[in-house]
Amino acid sequence: MPPALTGILTVLWLLPRVHRAKPWLLAGAVVVSGALPIAIAVGTGLLVGSIPASVEAGLDSPAGRRTLGLLAGVAALVVALRVVSPLLEALARTLGRQVQRYLQERVMVAVGRPAGIAHLEDPEILAQLRVVRGLGVDTNRPDLAVEGLARVLPAWVQALGSAAILLWFHWWLGLAWLVLWPVVLFAMQREYVRVGQVGYRLSDALRRAEYLRDLAITAPAAKEIRVWRMLDWLVDRFESTWRAAIEPVWRVRRPRPVVLFGSSGSVLVINIISYGLLAYAATRGDLGLAAVAVFTQALAGANVFLAFDDHNAYLSYAAVAVPRILELDRRLAAGHRPGTGALPAPDAPREAIRFERVRFAYPGAERDALAGLDLTVPAGRSLAIVGDNGAGKTSLVKLLCGLYQPTAGQITVDGVDLAGLDPVAWRSRIAVLFQDFARYQLSAADNIGLGAPELAGDGERLRVAAEQAGALALVESLPYGWETVLSREYAGGVDLSGGQWQRIALARALFAVQAGAGVLVLDEPTAALDVRAEAELYERFLELTAGLTTILISHRFSTVRRADRIVVLAGGAIAEDGSHQALLAAGGRYAEMFTLQAARFTEGSQPRA
């Protein structure tokens, strides 16, 4: 099936899925909009042909009354067309917006459907996502394709009907028109599809250009761009990257001359033949005035088929974009089949979480982040994990949350393989403060309540979580309290310091605990806190983690020492395991790291000799 036809059929297939009734109204309006010009053409021709007889016999004669009737009929048809056309366009715009929303929602669901996040690091998936988002390619919007249908389909109906009328003039001429316009249309659609596909093959290059553009116009890098005087470099690099990506598109974005001139030349030739034959037949008296008028109108109608305009281009680009959107949905659905097993118990873990000979490497990485890890985390106890950067600490947390699957080995919860569990059910048992936690441009209430969205409206739980995290006074001091948006990009919004954001993120994790999570994971929970706030958290650590299965990752040994047990990771495996005192007494890697950190606080404090 031709790609353009595939795209059109795909768009038509989508319409009943966004609304039940409107597609039928659209179809009816398309038929009426296409048929009315044909009726007007025939009526106009008959009207013109009736004028001589009515002039000769007078308006009171049957011929005159026939002329008046034809005039009224044509006028009514013209009025009907003027009413239907804007209604068709309005209906198409409405359906187009609904299709756009429907596809965006499908993309959001598709990208969020996999239990893990490895697909968001897959270059092919990222390239398809760029197509879906349509960054920098406005003509690829599916809503424009729907609007294009509302312009193109009536023209096709009119052209077909007009060509059919020409069969009564010369059957072979009408047949030639019936064959010509689909061939021309097919050729032009192929050209538009070819241009559209070239743009999509350059997604990686365009993503790099868009990344450079976004660096210059968004807040995260704004300080460094100014301090390091990077703007000129960014602009130059954006221009060179963008040009390298877009120049191949420029070279092919126009239809090839052989197709353009071949198509337009064919239309020109058949028009010369058609009008020449019509003029010859009229001058010989083979056709009456009415027939000449009808066939002349039919020839004009046969020429209205659209093949060289923007609306056909939108349909062709949709032939590339819309199937890719649906393919992304199918690919992510087929490639990720998360477990659906139930938890061993509603309050699992009751016994332990175990990492058994777990190996893990990130996609495309040359070495393992975890290399044969064996670790038991007893339920209801606290475990601290320390180690150098790159030792595998955060990778362990990601595997525990099911964001990635182990390359080898297994993770069990009370003896049940985590890979077979329903990820939603398991994650309802986990409260996590990630080191690179998200800063949502939402209200303070939403930022904390997202730890358990199903209970986000529970104000008392929100207050308790904020108080436990030391964030309650902060929230209550905001201009609009809990409803203050945490971003200066919105009217009345405020931004927070790094330490304040960390308190909000900790409150989000503790809100999940309020909602029933029994496993608390804290990845560098005090990294951005000041000394006073850090000390407050240390004092409350035992209170906050009481009864929870807690995993603490930190470089701050003053926090780590409060855990029931400490393990040292090195090279993706456990190098040391024990209590704070036992590890210090062993004099190994932990003792060395602790001594080095302690020296930072004691160095220079000794009195001079």
Query: CA of 547: how far to CAs of 205, 253, 272, 379, in Å?
Result: 51, 65, 90, 9
Residues 159 and 49 in one domain: yes
Residues 458 and 564 in one domain: no
pLDDT at 136 over 60: no
Residues 423 and 459 in one domain: no
Strand partners, 370: 360
| Distance separating alpha carbons of residues 464 and 100, to the nearest angstrom | 41
Report if residue 541 sits inside a domain.
no
Q: Kindly report, residue by residue over 501-547, the tens digit of the pLDDT.
A: 999 999 999 999 999 899 999 988 877 777 777 777 777 777 788 88
Q: What's the whole-number average pLDDT of the chain? A: 83
Residues 94 and 16 in one domain: yes
If pLDDT is split at 50, 70 and 90, which confidence band does 102 have?
confident
Q: Kindly report, residue by residue over 236-292, the tens digit of the pLDDT.
A: 988 888 887 777 666 665 656 676 677 777 888 888 888 898 898 888 888 888 888
Residues 99 and 67 in one domain: yes
178, 160 Cβ separation under 8 angstroms:
yes
Max Cα-Cα span within the chain? 133
Write the DSSP string, 403-429. Answer: SS--SEEEEEETTEEGGGB-HHHHHTT
How much is the pLDDT for 61?
A: 87
Report if residue 560 sits inside a domain.
yes
Residue predicted with more confidence, 457 or 335: 457
Query: CA of 198: how far to CAs of 26, 148, 250, 252, 255, in Å?
Result: 32, 22, 10, 8, 13
How much is the pLDDT for 18?
A: 86
Where do we find the tokens 């270059």?
123
Report if residue 262 sits inside a domain.
yes
Residues 404 and 453 in one domain: no
How much is the pLDDT for 204?
A: 62
Which range is least confidently modeled, 109-118, 120-129, 310-319, 327-336? 310-319
CATH of residue 324's domain is: 1.20.1560.10
Last residue of a domain, one of 335, 364, 390: 335
Residues 560 and 588 in one domain: yes
Q: In the structure encoding, which two tokens stand for residue 418, read together?
A: 């985590």
How much is the pLDDT for 75?
A: 92
Q: In the structure encoding, which two tokens stand for residue 130, read together?
A: 């760029």
303, 110 Cβ separation under 8 angstroms:
no
How much is the pLDDT for 316?
A: 66
How much is the pLDDT for 250?
A: 64
pLDDT at 104 over 90: no
The values of phi and psi at residue 208, to 5°, are -65, -40
Show the domain range for 462: 436-517
Domain total of the chain? 3
Residues 399 and 444 in one domain: no
If pLDDT is split at 50, 70 and 90, which confidence band does 548 have?
very high
| Distance separating alpha carbons of residues 363 and 371, to the nearest angstrom | 15
If pLDDT is split at 50, 70 and 90, which confidence band does 607 have?
very low
Report if residue 233 sits inside a domain.
no
How much is the pLDDT for 307?
A: 59
Report if residue 281 sits inside a domain.
yes
pLDDT at 491 over 60: yes
| Distance separating alpha carbons of residues 397 and 498, to the nearest angstrom | 22
440, 447 Cβ separation under 8 angstroms:
yes
Report if residue 317 sits inside a domain.
yes
Report if residue 114 sits inside a domain.
yes
- % pLDDT > 70, the chain: 86
Residues 558 and 467 in one domain: no
How much is the pLDDT for 608?
A: 44
The residues, any chain, with a CB within 8 Å of residue 116's CB and separated by 6 or more, are 336, 402, 403, 404, 405
| Distance separating alpha carbons of residues 225 and 215, to the nearest angstrom | 8
Q: Kindly report, residue by residue over 13-24, the tens digit of the pLDDT.
A: 888 888 888 889
CATH of residue 588's domain is: 3.40.50.300
| pTM recorded for the entire structure | 0.73
408-413 and 352-360 beta bridge pairing: antiparallel
pLDDT at 361 over 80: yes
pLDDT at 609 over 60: no
Where do we find the tokens 């080191």?
435
Write the DSSP string, 541-574. Answer: HHHHHTTSEEEEE-S-HHHHTTSSEEEEEETTEE
Question: Quick one: average pLDDT of 588-599?
Answer: 85
Which range is least confidently modeled, 2-11, 27-36, 47-56, 445-454? 2-11
Last residue of a domain, one of 289, 315, 335: 335
Last residue of a domain, one of 474, 499, 517: 517
Residues 555 and 511 in one domain: no
Residues 496 and 585 in one domain: no
pLDDT at 4 over 60: no
Find the helix or strand (DSSP H, E) in which 171 lies: helix 171-201
Report if residue 187 sits inside a domain.
yes
Residues 79 and 142 in one domain: yes
- % pLDDT > 90, the chain: 25
Question: Quick one: average pLDDT of 140-155?
Answer: 78
Q: Kindly report, residue by residue over 167-221, the tens digit of the pLDDT.
A: 888 888 888 888 887 787 777 767 666 665 655 555 566 777 878 888 888 877 8
